[in-house]
Amino acid sequence: MINKTTHIPVLLDETIKALSIKNEEFYIDATFGVGGYSKAILEAKKCKVLGVDRDPEAAPIAETIKIEFNNRFFFQNAKFSQIEELLEPLKIKKVAGIVFDLGVSSPQIDQIHRGFSFKLDGPLDMRMSKEGPTAEEFINKVEENTLANIIFELGDEVFSRRIAKNIISERAINSITKTGQLASIVRKAIPSAKHKIDPATKTFQAIRIYLNDEISELEKGLIAAEKILQPNGILAVVSFHSIEDRIIKNFFLKCSQDKNLSRHIPEIPSKQHSLKILTKKPILPSAIEIKYNKRSRSAKLRVAERTIFPSQFGDVA
């Protein structure tokens, strides 16, 4: 089970401030994890929160929050791309705020059996929902060119070709079954030099993103969030690497661009957009937060507000 004492929510104060939480409103914590954001929202005002997480190990922690906050907290073990349909049993159509905290939580990284960490020698798993093929199955079957492309595109790794070649060569001798084994192969493929981060970081990131279909999930989750936010509702998204941040930035820009629906009917405003960007530049963690939580150093918070104009993707009735 997830150890709930090891995870520190990133940019928590800034996110809670951005959400502008109000009494009697409904909010969604789309990446529940160990409940840091959910609990902070519930403590801020007498509101209600739906926590969502695809990791089945999050469910026991959610139960403790249910007990503490009685009828104000709900939980669903599901993907955040499903948030629109998850509201149906609660008879909720629109919400006042949604927060996404992307990536892997500290407890997931710190547990050897989950296979996310290149620093711990555990089984090659990396599945957030514990479903589908493991990283071990993927690494030992994938074609070299496909692997190189995944590492380059999802990890921004310039040595992707060398890394893929080394992995294919090594697995021809012995199956790759451990995180430490894979990390060692990756490190040997990269020219020796001073690195700001571990040489295995980007490759592990790419494989994790691919296995969990994180890019598609993020795109679908953002679309669902825009559709179910009520006017003046807040969308707050914390990301940890450039690929995620670029998707969020472009989504915000797309939804904030004015679109001319009619130049000839005075009753219809000519400029309509579904989101108003509240952060021209992303909010970054303070030096103090980085000092006490090193994993926050790459975090970026982007915030947008839902307008009164129609959704870009079709409003919920």
Q: Residue 142: which CATH number? A: 1.10.150.170
- What predicted TM-score, i.e. pTM, was given to this entire model? 0.90
Give me the domain span that covers residue 207: 130-211
Tell which of 211, 234, 259 closes a domain.
211
Report the alpha-carbon distance of residue 262 to residue 162 in Å, rounded. 54
- Tell me the pairing of strands 229-239 and 275-277: unpaired
Do 24 and 58 belong to one domain?
yes
- Kindly report the number of other CB atoms within 10 A of residue 165's CB atom: 15
In a domain, 314, yes or no: no
Written as one letter, the residue type at 305 is E
In a domain, 89, yes or no: yes
In a domain, 40, yes or no: yes
Tell which of 152, 186, 211 closes a domain.
211
Do 88 and 235 belong to one domain?
yes
Do 70 and 138 belong to one domain?
no
In a domain, 313, yes or no: no
- Tell me the pairing of strands 275-277 and 300-306: antiparallel
At 317, the pLDDT band (50, 70, 90 cuts) reads low
Contact 95, 21 (CB under 8 A): no
In a domain, 161, yes or no: yes
Do 26 and 161 belong to one domain?
no
Report the alpha-carbon distance of residue 80 to residue 159 in Å, rounded. 33
Phi, psi of 7 (to 5 degrees): -110, 130
Do 165 and 227 belong to one domain?
no
pLDDT tens track for 76-85: 999 999 999 9
> Which of 143, 123, 126, 101 minimizes the C-alpha distance to 15?
101
> Nearest 5°: CA angle at 96, between 90 and 99?
95
Those residues whose C-beta lies under 8 Å from the C-beta of residue 37, and which sit 6 or more positions away, are: 9, 12, 15, 16, 29, 31, 99, 101
Which pLDDT belongs to residue 305? 98
In a domain, 6, yes or no: no
Counted domains in the chain: 2
Do 47 and 96 belong to one domain?
yes
Do 93 and 178 belong to one domain?
no
Do 205 and 222 belong to one domain?
no
pLDDT tens track for 199-229: 999 999 999 999 999 999 999 999 999 999 9
Q: Express as a percent the part of the chain with pLDDT over 90.
A: 79
In a domain, 121, yes or no: no
Give the CATH number, domain containing residue 269: 3.40.50.150
Tell which of 196, 211, 226 closes a domain.
211
Which pLDDT belongs to residue 1? 40
Do 31 and 154 belong to one domain?
no
In a domain, 168, yes or no: yes
**Would residue 78 be called left, alpha or beta, if left means φ above 0 and alpha means ψ between -120 and 50 degrees?**
beta
Helices 214-228 + 201-211 axis angle, to 10? 60
Buried b (16+ CB within 10 A) or exposed e, 214-249: beebbebbbbbbbbbbbeebbbbbbbbbebbbebbb
Mean pLDDT of 141-155: 97
Do 226 and 288 belong to one domain?
yes
Report the alpha-carbon distance of residue 80 to residue 230 in Å, rounded. 18
| CA distances (Å), origin 158, targets 150, 152, 245 | 12, 6, 19
- Of 25-34, 95-104, 266-275, the range with the lowest mean pLDDT is 266-275
pLDDT tens track for 266-314: 444 446 899 999 999 999 999 999 999 888 999 999 999 999 999 988 8
Which pLDDT belongs to residue 264? 41
Do 142 and 286 belong to one domain?
no
Report the alpha-carbon distance of residue 224 to residue 227 in Å, rounded. 5
Do 246 and 187 belong to one domain?
no
